[in-house]
Amino acid sequence: MNMIQKAVTDALDSLDIDYEITEHPPVYTIDEMKNLGITHKGDVVKNLFLRDAKGKRHFLVVLDKDKRADLKALQEQLSCSKLSFASEERLKKHLGLFRGSVTPLGILNDAQGMVELVFDRDLIGRRRLGVHPNENTATIWISFDNLKKISQAFHHPIQYVSL
């Protein structure tokens, strides 16, 4: 286990959160995860790091791997200006992450609370969600309720949308 994963698991352990880790080669897409058989072990999520038109608001949107996000509908639900994908520079600055490693656990690196955490309502209650531990060489399996517990502990309220 590398230092990035250890920082994540230490945070989960400190909150007494149950999880399981699957190690794997680096993956950058859901298709790569499917090819490795990872998606058969639980409900893998897709994560979108978005910004509004002025770059003042940033959103980490979490949805099921098989769903597509309509950015216009999402913009309406979040009451913000036009949404677009944020740059890798913004991803590094706000969440300390790199392309391919975007995850709701990135909030552990957002001490200033600059990123708004957004979950698709369809994820509520799921018992086994697959997310990266802030890098893309492993998947952590965790319940939605425990992701919610982490967001509360790190002062990141969750907004819910229908995608």
Cβ–Cβ under 8 Å, residues 44 and 63:
no
DSSP 124: T
Model pLDDT for residues 123-162, shown as the tens digit of each residue: 999 999 999 999 999 999 999 999 999 999 999 999 999 9
Instruction: Specify the pLDDT at position 49.
Output: 97
Backbone angles phi, psi at 17, to 5 degrees: -100, 130
- What average pLDDT is seen over the chain? 95
Neighbour-count burial for 128-158, b at 16+ CB within 10 Å, e otherwise:
ebbbbbbbbbbbbbbbbebbbbbbeebebeb
Instruction: Supply the range of the domain harboring residue 70.
Output: 3-161
DSSP string of 127-147, one letter each residue: S-EEE-SSSTTEEEEE-HHHH
| Number of domains composing the chain | 1
Q: What is the reported pLDDT for 1?
A: 78
CA angle at 137 for the pair 86 and 68, rounded to the nearest 5°? 45
Tens digits of residue pLDDT in 43-66: 999 999 999 999 999 999 999 999
CATH of the domain at 103: 3.90.960.10
The tokens for 76 are 């309406």
Model pTM?
0.94
